[in-house]
Structure 1
Amino acid sequence: MSTVQLGSALSVGLIKSDGPAGTAWLRLSIGALIFLAVARPPLRSIRRRDVPALLGLGVTTGLQTIAFLAAIDRIPLGTCVAIEFLGPLTVAAVRSHSTRALVWPALALAGVVLLTEPWHGSFNPAGVGLAALSGVGWASYILLTQQVGDRFDGITGLSLTVPIAALTAATMGVPQALGHLSFGAIAAAAGLALLLPVLPYALEMLALRGMKPAAFGTLMALEPAFGVLLGLFVLHQTPAPAQILGITLVVIAGAAAQRGGQRQHPAAESADVDLKPCPAPQ
């Protein structure tokens, strides 16, 4: 979570020079090269019925990355992560098959209202809308990742989908970054790609070997809090007392939703978890 949010916070500087889509394209392209070199995906093992999920996951990852980076260019990092977190939290609540579980997305939404403080003039509807779009992307990412994860292991799946995400981001990113590329920008993007997605995914796999998915998902509910902390220490975005209460509500809701939000069939234990942070999107 630290590397994910640190990578997001440090991306703000590159966004200023190369734009959100340009930053997404650079990060995803370098990440794709790393995954291709490490995994060397067996393309012959891809079946025709695998293609829709692979393409869907790749395109979703690319678009979500752009939306998230565009959002943190407009609103504080912690607020953006909390809004985005509504996506996977809702997925977990719906999968519990209990109407009572829907109270957790509602609680998180109340926390988001406290975070965004719409009663103040600083409310940024574009930033909130982009963060919400990223949340929809995260929810879609969970569903698609579980389909891909049932067919390919983690690194192999990423080596197949991250290049598609990079090509998706290139459609907007290349025109946006054109004329602003420099050795410094490429070097910065390479470092950011290691922070996100390469290093977090490796650490996630190691963590999942030693804990159950439910425990992993509960810990991942701290993601918005990490966003606030990294926003404070790296970007000097100091939350107000009401916003601290808001992020607390989001974290509580995320942890509580995990109590009943797991997949019901055995493949879930090895494929993914409901509140897993998407390695590429941010």
Structure 2
Amino acid sequence: MAAAPDDAAAARAEHPYDRRAAGTALALGASASGQTGAAVGAMAFADLGVPGVVAVRQVVAALAVNAVVRWSPRSLDRRTWALVGTLAAVMGLMNLTIYLAVDRIGLGLAVTIEFLGPLAVAVGTSRRLLDVLAAVAAAVGVLMLVAPGPSSDVAGILLALAAAATWATYILLSRALGARLPGLQGAAAAATVLAAAWALPVLVVVLLAHPPWQALVLAAVCGVMSSALPYPADMAALRRLPASTYSTLLSVNPVWAFLAGVVLLGERVSAHEVVGGALVVLANVVVTALPGRRSGAGLAGSPPLGPSASPSDGDDDGGARA
């Protein structure tokens, strides 16, 4: 999405140091808001179920995106609609699997494993030996995180890995759709399709079950904190920072997730999880921050309408979240 003229002009008029400082604060704030929102949503799992929370969040996310991005259904041809539909299906699966994983293995562990998705895309588009070593370090970190054994929640780990795979697929599909539609029109279209075809029917079922109003409020707050607030913050950050810097800052997502899990959900973090999570974060930083990386191989923050999005190849203003 192209920046609004006034906003873009204001960003360019800022002093370079102030612009970078503001962009950094916006990116970190968006990341923290997204993970805090996910923790708030997890509080409603018992009353709404995971699909119910995801549905409420998806509707809020679609409203947020469509409030900012203008697109016309009539402007899409059949091939573009096919890509939009596929992206919507991937986003729905991505949202569902990550929240199911959070319900089973906790927010911090689930988000850290999920981050392997964009890491795999970045490493796969790079030819540096250092990136391969970073991927190995991330794999070791995940092994330390999950501590395989008889008591491991294998289903939860597999769900988090499925979320990682769908996040990687989402990035690739977003790039393909971005080549056909300008800015974030493709993300807005996919979010709208997903909200109409998947989230709204689930919402009807949830409402018919008469859940406590507090649970609906928690799910709505999840949508606001994980989508409506981070979305414009991400856009503003990307107008002030290179895509590589933005992606590197969002490598802190697992850290925010662990903190939100501990503070809001009462999750316990063991020493091996701290070390494993640190290795994954370090691998993300190495891949995104060090010089020599090919343009466009950056990681995503949260995918739009999902748990934060990837800057497009060579586009410093192409991120999104929902």
Q: With the length of structure 2 as denominator, give the TM-score of the two structures.
A: 0.77
Q: Which of 291, 294, 303 does residue 278 from structure 1 map onto?
A: 303
Q: Is the 8 A contact 2:64 2:227 kept in 1?
A: no
Q: Is the 8 A contact 2:227 2:305 kept in 1?
A: yes
* Aligned-partner residue type, residue 15 of structure 1: F
CA drift at 1:181: 4.0
Q: Which residue of 1 aligns with 2:166?
A: 137
- Closer, same or farther in 2 for the Cα pair 1:262/1:57, shift >3 Å? farther
Give the number of equivalent residue pairs. 274
- Percent identical pairs in the alignment equals 29
Q: Which of 258, 262, 273 does residue 228 from structure 1 map onto?
A: 258
Q: Which residue of 2 aligns with 1:39?
A: 69
Other structure's SS at 2:300 match: coil
- Closer, same or farther in 2 for the Cα pair 1:212/1:59, shift >3 Å? same
Q: Which of 122, 129, 138 does residue 108 from structure 1 map onto?
A: 138
Other structure's SS at 1:73 match: helix
Work out whether 1:161 is the aligned partner of 2:190. Answer: yes
Q: Which residue of 1 aligns with 2:229?
A: 199
* Aligned-partner residue type, residue 209 of structure 2: G
Q: Output the aligned Cα RMSD.
A: 2.4
CA distance in 2, matches of 1:38, 1:214: 24
Q: Map 1:47-126 onto structure 2 (within 5 A).
A: 47-98=77-128, 100-119=130-149, 121=151, 123-126=152-155
Q: Is the 8 A contact 1:59 1:168 kept in 2?
A: no
- Closer, same or farther in 2 for the Cα pair 1:138/1:3, shift >3 Å? same
Q: Is the 8 A contact 1:95 1:262 kept in 2?
A: no
CA distance in 2, matches of 1:39, 1:168: 20
CA drift at 1:260: 7.0
* Aligned-partner residue type, residue 8 of structure 1: A
Other structure's SS at 2:114 match: helix
Q: With the length of structure 1 as denominator, give the TM-score of the two structures.
A: 0.87
Other structure's SS at 1:74 match: helix
With 252-261 and 165-174 compared, the bigger mean Cα shift is at 165-174
With 34-43 and 52-61 compared, the bigger mean Cα shift is at 34-43
1:199-239 per-position Cα deviation (integer Å, ceiling 9, x unaligned): 11211111111111111111111111111111111112121
CA distance in 2, matches of 1:99, 1:175: 51
With 97-106 and 77-86 compared, the bigger mean Cα shift is at 97-106
CA distance in 2, matches of 1:263, 1:152: 23
CA distance in 1, matches of 2:115, 2:302: 9
CA drift at 1:67: 0.5
* Aligned-partner residue type, residue 279 of structure 1: P
Q: Is the 8 A contact 1:60 1:165 kept in 2?
A: no
CA distance in 1, matches of 2:219, 2:161: 25
